[in-house]
Amino acid sequence: MKRVIVVILLFSFLSTSCGPADSTQADSSAQYIENKGSDTIVNLALAWAERYQSEHADIRISVTGGGSGTGIAALINGTVDIANASRSIKEEEIAEARTKGVNPVEHIIARDAIAVIVNPDNPVNELTLQQISDVYSGKITNWIELGGEDRPIVRLSRETNSGTHVYFLETVLRLGSKEDKTLFSMDTLLLPSSEGIIAEVRQNPNAIGYDGLGYVPQDLKMIAIAAEAGGAYLLPSIRSVNNTTYPIARDLYMYTDGEPVGAVKDYLDWILESEAQQIVAELGFVPVE
């Protein structure tokens, strides 16, 4: 009996030593990077984090979405190491950050095209920027005005905290004019995610939406867009973004408080290398040249 008790105690000791204790020790030695923001970037950021952690066992990267505004607010409040944004930081956000001793530094990590999408049953294939602006501002309300069928237009947009929403408002609805105060039509449906817009366009033949190129599935139709009447109609692609011919393209950003150092610097340096930029292309975004 004594021998059995000794064996049980010895087994218990060994199990405790080799189990959770080792895991706790490994976790305590890991360096953590908090990364939050743009829903456009979140899938790309997750793919980067997974690859990087597989090659750097001492690094743990937490990636969450919530929108560009949410990520920048978290950076200003000092709760993240890296904020993801699909728009550039606003002047008022920079001013707020500086009142809190935060110095936002911008890093361009990829590029993206905004695709305007419709249901594949919609016969409309081409639109100008002015026509899209008129649709989203409520001046055009029926597809027949655009060469389509006699059906009401259902407008879909991302929510106001989304960097994609802000970019689309400034670049498409307001056609790049800072003096223009055009707003989305009041009956525009604001959806919380890119996936939500995709799902609604897929099931609604009257819908029009917009999304980052990397999110558009093959079963939906992308509209070819001309910057102005009489201009060339172009579909979004890596080529049309890099040669600046597609009119709705943008940079994607990560922001840090000051110039990055240590593990955050190493991670951002890796993001700009060929291995990480290959992931950019694989996910439908445009690598930084």
Do 137 and 76 belong together in one domain? no
Q: Tell whether 64 is covered by a domain.
A: yes
pLDDT band (50, 70, 90) for residue 29: confident
Q: Tell whether 12 is covered by a domain.
A: no
Q: Tell whether 133 is covered by a domain.
A: yes
The count of other CB atoms within 10 Å of the CB of residue 124 is: 15
DSSP three-state, residue 98: helix
Do 155 and 173 belong together in one domain? yes
Q: Tell whether 23 is covered by a domain.
A: no
Mean confidence (pLDDT) of the chain: 90
CA angle centred on 32, ends 29 and 37, rounded to 5°: 170
Do 255 and 245 belong together in one domain? no
Do 101 and 171 belong together in one domain? no
Do 40 and 54 belong together in one domain? yes
Q: Tell whether 3 is covered by a domain.
A: no
Beta pairing partners, 64: 36
Q: Tell whether 14 is covered by a domain.
A: no
Backbone φ, ψ for residue 133 (5° rounding): -60, -45
Residue 162: domain span: 113-249
Q: How far is CA 25 from the centre of its chain?
A: 35
Minimal CA–CA distance to 126: which of 134, 114, 118, 136?
118
DSSP three-state, residue 40: helix
The count of other CB atoms within 10 Å of the CB of residue 13 is: 10
35-54 pLDDT, tens per residue? 999 999 999 999 999 999 99
Percent of the chain with pLDDT over 70: 90
Higher-pLDDT residue of 106, 26: 106
Beta pairing partners, 106: 255
Report the CATH number that the domain containing residue 98 is assigned in CATH: 3.40.190.10
**Which tokens belong to 27?**
């976790």
- CA–CA separation, 10 and 118 (whole Å): 67
Strand pairing class (126-128; 59-64): unpaired
Q: Tell whether 26 is covered by a domain.
A: no
Do 106 and 117 belong together in one domain? no
Beta pairing partners, 212: 114
Per the CB < 8 A criterion, the answer to whether 42 and 67 are in contact is: no
* Domain tally, the chain: 2
Q: Tell whether 9 is covered by a domain.
A: no
